Amino acid sequence: MKNVLIIYLIVFTFSAFGQNRPTIKQDLLSPVTTDASSYFWTGTALTTFLVLTQDYLSYPLTERAYETKPLGDAAVVGDYYGQLYPNIIYTLGALAHGYYSTEDKSSYEKADHMFRATLYSGFVTTVLKYSIRQPRPNSPQEKNSFPSGHTTTAFAFATVIATEHSWHWGVPALALAALTGFSRMNDERHFLHDVMAGMTLGVGYGLGTYYSKAGQGSKYVIVPIFDQDRTGLRVVTTF
């Protein structure tokens, strides 16, 4: 997987995307500073609820999924879909189409969107994995369960497809992403709250990078608050 990611980064570095790309800050904050925020905060609230009630919901439901294995051999489809391969294939295909097309250069924008959504959601997921260090359900010595990286990648891919193409492509893509999330429970690699967090990040950055490309998020500044009475974050916007 590391070699695949390196190839992906090289392809992006030498590709001819447009020059009006949002800044790193705008993309990183895009799930909370664009119209993606309602989806992101809803997913965050659901994830928090599942974490707080994990002994009553997340753990038992994960255990039931593993014991019954309702997906059977189909779980392997979710496993592959949640790796970087679909994201890379889409990016390369869109780049090739943009290069050889003499009339439509929008494929470059689609490739750029897929890369940014995958990169930023994957980055945040990795930081959380190795900061929180939650043990995996079937392998306690592996402390990188939260969030589910496969689910993040799958929903980032599916959300880009849903925003860049018609619903005929978006619906199947999102259905396969849901299959990926459930397959991680089916294979006892993640808990339900890991999957929900991955979905939240994938959708959040899939939509966030889409809206930030359209110019949203540039008027927002998030400022930390530290004083005697309170600690928190303040979001400042201009009109």
In the chain, what are the domain boundaries? Answer: 2-237
Residues in CB range of 32: below 8 A, 6 or more apart: 40, 41, 208, 222, 235
Confidence band (pLDDT; 50, 70, 90) for 172? very high
Query: C-alpha angle 183/188/189, rounded to 5°?
Result: 80
* Fold of the CATH domain 2-237: Vanadium-containing Chloroperoxidase; domain 1 (1.20.144)
- The letter for the amino acid at 136 is R
The pLDDT value recorded for residue 14 is: 47
Helix, strand, or coil (residue 28) = helix
Q: What average pLDDT does the segment 91-116 reach?
A: 86
CA distance 144 to 133: 5
pLDDT at 16: 47
Question: What's the rounded Cα separation, in Å, for the pair 114 and 107?
Answer: 11
Please give the full DSSP string across 73-84, using - where no structure is assigned. Answer: GGHHHHHHHTSS
pTM: 0.86
173-225: per-residue pLDDT in tens?
A: 999 999 999 999 999 999 999 999 999 999 999 999 999 987 777 555 555 55
**Mean pLDDT on 14-36:** 79
Lowest mean pLDDT among 54-58, 66-70, 89-93, 96-100: 96-100
Could you tell me the CA-to-CA distances from 136 to 114, 132, 222, 235 in Å, in that order? Answer: 28, 12, 33, 35
Average pLDDT of the segment spanning 136-141: 93
pLDDT at 238 over 50: no
- Predicted local distance difference test score (pLDDT) of residue 163: 96
